[in-house]
A and B are shown apart, each in its own frame.
Chain A
Amino acid sequence: MTAHCSTGTTLEPPLAILAELTHRCPLRCAYCSNPLQLDPASRELDTATWCRVLDEAAEMGVIQVHFSGGEPTARKDLETLVAHATQAGLYVNLITSAVLLDRTRLKRLRDAGLQHVQVGFQDTVADKAERISGFPGGHPKKLEVARDVTDLGLALTVNAIVQRHNIDRVDDFIDMALDLGAGRIEIANVQYYGWALKNRGALMPTHEQLIRMDERVRARLPELKGRLVVDYVVPDYYGKRPKACMGGWGSKFLNINPSGAVLPCHAAETIPGLTFDRVTERPLADIWANSAAFQRYRGTDWMPARCRSCDQKEVDWGGCRCQALALTGNADNADPVCELSEHHGLLAGITAADGGTAEVPLTYRSFSL
């Protein structure tokens, strides 16, 4: 496949696809980044369509697939999809809340070719975790499944989702990952899209909390070398320069939602005026190369003048489009995290209003608002 993006350089195939198999999920996490309008089960792609899409992905050069959701294990055909992806030559990751899994099913998934399981943890303390997930009994179940994952020889990532109420326990998260035999921990500060945006005032930590967390994580890194890979996403609300969201729009990753819409990132549906092609209507490689939604912010041509003349433009790619939209009302702006943005002052207002440590009632994720 040869295609060209707007900057004239050859377009590489995506490294990985996120396959959101379903929006169904037994948990109701207040930080969930799924859209407020969830796809119902009746709109989900069927097994045969997913298998075709996995073949197309492998064919175009995709290396890894992440089965995600919602809760991907809510799909009864997950074993079939894992086996199909593996046979197509894809490396298979499962991103799960773990509460629907047991050892027998994990074994079947492993035998089908699954390599890596990422389990999301809301806290290290059960009642605190379950307040965030809205799912009683979830935490001990996650611990049990995580032990089975490593016991069965699969790679385990502990995904620690960090917000104001657990951020001071980042050391405990690391110890928990070591104890479970995880090879990797992802310390992911909540990103404020979807349901998380609704709960920003109840979740966003203070700047002091972030600085303390950062110090603690850095202090642990030398000791963890060769034992635990630490992937650490520092939240940028208090930052000065934006992050290259998704490694650049339409540059490394794509997302397929439960009903088959192909998105440049999982929050892209929040951007008004973008239309998304579906895997049921167009080949995946054609969508990657030519879909209007991918072309819209790919490369540097779309950028505001300040970014276009900036030496960072191919480093951060102007930051996150969804954040620009959420904060400035226009996805065409530079990410306001950038101190050069005329909207940068907005951040101070938001963090002053929403950053805090108080316990504020949560809005739980649900299918009907």
Chain B
Amino acid sequence: MTAPQEVSVGEDDRVRLAPGVMLRQDRVRNHWQLLGPERVLVLDDIALEVVRATTGQPVTVREAIDALAAQFDAPRAEIAADVREVLADMIAKGFLTR
């Protein structure tokens, strides 16, 4: 399922897992995944950190980006671009909601 990214995410937005979506560690396949109705999304390291930072506690996207930039000691602009891209894709696919 490749969704064209027509969804755009602003830094004031807050996101959360959509109803029926859960974050799960798959010990047999050795990765993390988002599970939803009839769907599995395998998370790479970046996507996992984004999901944790944005949905783990009630924060704005801006606050999550700040935290990730500090955590990974990386340029904020780079992190912001990654985060917004990952979030837009997950919203378009119905795993996250605003």
Residues of A within 8 A of B (CB): 13, 15, 60-61, 63-64, 89, 91, 93, 115-116, 118, 150, 153-157, 183-184, 186, 222, 225-226, 228-229, 231
Complex Cα–Cα for A286 and B22 (A): 29
Residues of B within 8 A of A (CB): 3-4, 6-7, 18-22, 24, 26, 28-29, 33, 35-40, 91-94
Residues of A near B36 (CB, < 8 A) are 116, 155, 183
A183 adjacent to B38 (CB under 8 Å):
no
Residues of B near A157 (CB, < 8 A) are 37-38
Complex Cα–Cα for A222 and B33 (A): 26
Query: Would you list 13 pairs from A and B whose C-beta atoms are within 8 A, ordered by A residue?
Result: A63-B40, A115-B20, A115-B35, A116-B38, A118-B37, A155-B21, A156-B19, A183-B18, A183-B20, A225-B7, A225-B92, A226-B92, A231-B38
Residues of A near B91 (CB, < 8 A) are 226
A155 adjacent to B19 (CB under 8 Å):
yes
Residue of B nearest to A157 (CB): B37
Give the contacting residue for A154; candidates B20, B29, B39; CB below 8 A: B20
B24 adjacent to A154 (CB under 8 Å):
no
Give the secondary structure class of A's interface.
Answer: mixed
Complex Cα–Cα for A156 and B19 (A): 8
Query: If A226-B7, A226-B91 touch, does A63 touch B21 (CB 8 Å cutoff)?
Result: no
Query: If A116-B20, A226-B94 touch, does A184 touch B28 (CB 8 Å cutoff)?
Result: no
A229 adjacent to B93 (CB under 8 Å):
yes
B3 adjacent to A225 (CB under 8 Å):
yes
Within the complex, the shortest CB–CB distance from A284 to chain B, in Å, comes to 14
B19 adjacent to A154 (CB under 8 Å):
yes
Residue of B nearest to A113 (CB): B22
Give the contacting residue for B28; candidates A13, A150, A229; CB below 8 A: A13
Complex Cα–Cα for A91 and B35 (A): 7
Residue of A nearest to B90 (CB): A226
Give the contacting residue for A64; candidates B4, B18, B28, B35; CB below 8 A: B35
Residue of A nearest to B18 (CB): A183
A155 adjacent to B18 (CB under 8 Å):
yes
Which of B19, B26, B36, B91 has the most chain A CB atoms inside 10 A of its CB?
Answer: B19
Complex Cα–Cα for A200 and B87 (A): 44
Complex Cα–Cα for A91 and B7 (A): 27
Query: If A93-B37, A222-B6, A225-B92 touch, does A60 touch B28 (CB 8 Å cutoff)?
Result: yes
Complex Cα–Cα for A26 and B93 (A): 35
Within the complex, the shortest CB–CB distance from B6 to chain A, in Å, comes to 6
B28 adjacent to A155 (CB under 8 Å):
no
Complex Cα–Cα for A115 and B17 (A): 12
A115-B22, A155-B37, A225-B92 provided; 20 other pairs, C-beta below 8 A?
A15-B40, A60-B28, A63-B33, A64-B35, A89-B24, A91-B24, A93-B37, A93-B38, A154-B20, A155-B19, A183-B18, A183-B36, A184-B37, A184-B94, A222-B6, A225-B6, A225-B7, A226-B7, A226-B92, A229-B93
